[in-house]
Amino acid sequence: MNVILVTGGAGFIGSNYIRLFLQTNKDDKVINYDKLTYAGNIENIQDLDSNPRYCFVKGDICDEKHFTKIIKEYDPDYVINFAAESHVDRSIDDPSIFGDTNIMGTLNILQCLKNFWKKSNDQNKKFLQISTDEVYGSLENDDDSFTESSLLMPNSPYSASKAGADLMVRAFVKTYGFPAMITRCSNNYGPFQNAEKFIPSCIIKALKDEAITIYGDGTNIREWIHVNDHCAAITKVLLKGKLGEVYNIGSGDEVSNIEMARLILKHLGKETGRIEKITDRPGHDRRYALDSKKIAGELDWKCSYQLEKGIKETISWYQNNRAWWDK
Ligand code: NAD
Ligand code: TDX
């Protein structure tokens, strides 16, 4: 039996991860360590409350004393860090908490684990940092894609803070031989995603017959991956990945924002729904696209979701779970 400590497991990806992990790894136990910020919602993982292999601990990754206490108490084999401030627009309005949580919080986790794991002298411990394609910056033409060795050229306070965390993980690997890996995934969609993000905002606005708001001309492109495909890739990396390595995770499904808005309206049978172009996001990255050959070749991973089917299922989830988002 392995014990996995997941930080940020009450958020969108973390909650989907824990559910899927417990379903597919029948002997393992998960500790969910989450501060429950505005983005953390205990309802996301309420169905797991009665599972004896799951336990929730309220806590802040920046709190050295408390995080160390929990690490000592549960002695996890693996730690996966999902906890972060995750919304680009919020980082533009107020970058400081992005530095605190994403950089300093990750550094705190690294220091606590390094100290504790050194003492326990256990060779099987692993840390996985959940990062993003946004650390590579923006692609200006339609052919390129980012590999794991592309330069880090982040453009928003959010992506700069995630890049800062990635570099700190790298430094711990190189300097202390710390047993860490990093995954960098493209834009996720699926159930339990906060309404502030693009796909839920399109679905919710369309359901309410409000105008979908598109930043700028709507031609910015994102590579969309279903959250369960991301989660399956994370477990592959956790169990089979090579320590010290970075793995990109992408679907190859690139869609412009305006096309995505139209696709959502089409599936809702609201083709005539309104789309309103509004002032562009400052520093708005033009296009993200990942080269995911490394994880496909070395770890035998591939996506299982077809984009339109995944979007349709996601729309149904928001239709069937109105109480979750309509507060
Ligand atoms: P989210 O905002 O939905 O969830 C973040 C979670 O972290 C919340 O439960 C929140 O309460 C918790 N948290 C925040 N600060 C904390 C702290 N100081 N201590 C403990 N917990 C804290 O985010 P998400 O979309 O689920 O993203 C999860 C991770 O995946 C992030 O690291 C993000 O950068 C990364 N990522 C996200 C995407 C995406 O498309 N959403 C893509 C690639 C990578
Ligand atoms: O109302 C909107 N209108 C709009 O045109 C919103 C909220 C967004 N957009 C655009 C901006 C982006 O081009 O849609 C695209 C997607 O926006 P977000 O959902 O805010 O995602 P993005 O900025 O691409 O970042 C996301 O993917 C990478 C996550 O929020 C990050 O946590 C992750 O690292």
Tell me, what DSSP letter sits at residue 86? -
Q: With a cut of 0.95, is the ipTM above it?
A: yes
pLDDT at 271: 86
Q: Does 122 score more than 90 pLDDT?
A: no
For residue 237, the CA-to-ligand 2 centroid distance in Å is 25
Q: Does 85 score more than 90 pLDDT?
A: yes
Catalytic residue among 34, 60, 85, 133: 133
pLDDT at 37: 98
Please report the atom of ligand 1 found closest to the CA of residue 61. Answer: 19
pLDDT at 327: 84
158: annotated active-site residue: yes
Give the mean model confidence (pLDDT) for residues 120-125.
82
Give, to the nearest 10 degrees, the angle between helix 12-24 and helix 227-240: 60
Give the mean model confidence (pLDDT) for residues 267-274.
90
Catalytic residue among 17, 136, 158, 305: 158
Tokens of 50: 């009665």
How do residues 280-316 score in pLDDT, each as one tens digit?
999 999 999 999 999 999 999 999 999 999 999 999 9
Q: Which ligand does the CA of 9 lie closest to?
A: 1
Triad 221, 223, 225: Cα angle to 5°: 150
Q: Does domain 3-192+224-252+288-304 have CATH number 3.40.50.720?
A: yes
Q: Does 120 score more than 80 pLDDT?
A: no
Does any ligand 2 atom lie closer than 6 A to the CB of residue 214?
yes
pLDDT at 152: 98
pLDDT at 121: 72
How far, in Å, CA of 252 to CA of 250, rounded? 6
How far, in Å, CA of 37 to CA of 8, rounded? 9
How far, in Å, CA of 34 to CA of 44, rounded? 12
pLDDT at 68: 98
Share of the chain above pLDDT 70, in %: 100
What are the residue ranges of helices labelled H in 177-283?
A: 198-207, 227-240, 257-267
Strands 212-215 and 275-278: parallel
Does any ligand 2 atom lie closer than 6 A to the CB of residue 134?
yes
Mean pLDDT over the full length of the chain: 97
Triad 43, 47, 50: Cα angle to 5°: 120
Q: Does 119 score more than 80 pLDDT?
A: no
How do residues 14-35 score in pLDDT, each as one tens digit?
999 999 999 999 999 999 999 9
How do residues 163-198 score in pLDDT, each as one tens digit?
999 999 999 999 999 999 999 999 999 999 999 999
pLDDT at 41: 97
Give the SS3 label for residue 202: helix
pLDDT at 211: 96
Give the mean model confidence (pLDDT) for residues 205-231.
97
Does any ligand 2 atom lie closer than 6 A to the CB of residue 257?
yes
- For atom 34 of ligand 2, the residue with the nearest CA is 132
Q: Which ligand does the CA of 10 lie closest to?
A: 1
Cβ partners under 8 Å of residue 85, min gap 6: 37, 39, 91, 97, 98, 101, 102, 158, 161
Does any ligand 2 atom lie closer than 6 A to the CB of residue 136?
no
How far, in Å, CA of 45 to CA of 148, rounded? 32
Sign of the CA dihedral 49, 50, 51, 53? positive
How far, in Å, CA of 228 to CA of 13, rounded? 9
pLDDT at 143: 83
Share of the chain above pLDDT 90, in %: 95
Q: Does 147 score more than 80 pLDDT?
A: yes
